[in-house]
Structure 1
């Protein structure tokens, strides 16, 4: 029998950046008696993005699902919701952050994420951006990854070293767990 005390909902909101949006959305969540388990905010261009993982009993989650569309219209936001369940952690031997940077070249992020997919390595967080340095457009990226127990970490690092040379990026791996 499913428990109704621990329902989860992913809520995503996108709209023009202005002050007060976070306050309005978190007030709605609180008024509906939900708890924010995890969240991320980013400004992309002139757009504000907010992703939250909410938890609550069935009635609380239903209240958010019912009230959010009206609040979204008031705030001029595009929102999306999806029911989910508690994340099941896989068998990992280690977790790392990878930071890399170099001249902005189209396809670099795609090649890096493709490499991780080929190695069966899970990306749990990713942030990338570009910046100007001495008139040259540069890119930087930070990923958090989980290495499955069946993947040899040393062999993986050697393969990534080869990829980084091909892509002409500098990088740092840091073990975080």
Structure 2
């Protein structure tokens, strides 16, 4: 019977990191289910869901721990199937001059309204004309039953004015979460 695990990985970025991890998974007849990985600064970080046979769990975890000798830190969590969020899926785009507190303010408003963040990607890059730091965020959020996209938009636009960012909410392609 397969055992699902969630792995977090962090290492100095270098070629071959994903291949090394994929090889350990393959060596234990594991299955790479899904992942999100990125180079952040000089580090490579990721989160990955795999499944391995119940009989190979111990040796798999031992092999993952041995990656520390190569500078690859792996944390393992056995996946306890959490209930999926139900509600309307909404795409959130945010753009503005970079400054501290943007994520804190927006995530606080989402939490107050019991909105679940399904995916979040942020980046600071230079503006094309001025070179000034531009903060962007893209998220897929799930609105709880009873909260409309317009109610959330009103709240986020108020916050957007306070922290001087532009916020756009649109219905996601998959309008309802499971």
Query: Would the TM-score normalized by the shorter structure come out above 0.5?
Result: yes
Q: CA deviation at 1:171?
A: 2.2
Give the 5 Å matches for 1:122-141: 122-133=116-127, 134-141=130-137
Whole-angstrom CA distance in 2 between matches of 1:38 and 1:150 = 31
State the Cα RMSD in Å: 1.5
1:45 to 41, 45, 59: 41
Per the alignment, residue 160 of structure 1 pairs with: 156
* Structure 1 residues without counterparts, runs of 5 or longer: none
Corresponding residue for 2:14?
18
Q: Which runs of 5+ in 2 are unaligned?
A: none
CA contact (8 A) 1:7 1:85 kept: no
Which of 167, 171, 174 is equivalent to 1:175? 171
Instruction: Name the stretch that deviates more: 125-134 or 150-159.
Output: 150-159
The CA deviation at 1:111 is 0.4
Q: Does 1:72 align with 2:74?
A: no
State the partner residue of 1:85: 80
Structure 2 residue 107 is the aligned partner of structure 1 residue 145: no
CA shift for structure 1 position 114 = 0.7
SS in 2 for 1:106: coil
> Is 2:100 aligned against 1:113?
no
Q: TM-score, length-normalised on structure 1?
A: 0.89
Q: CA deviation at 1:15?
A: 0.9
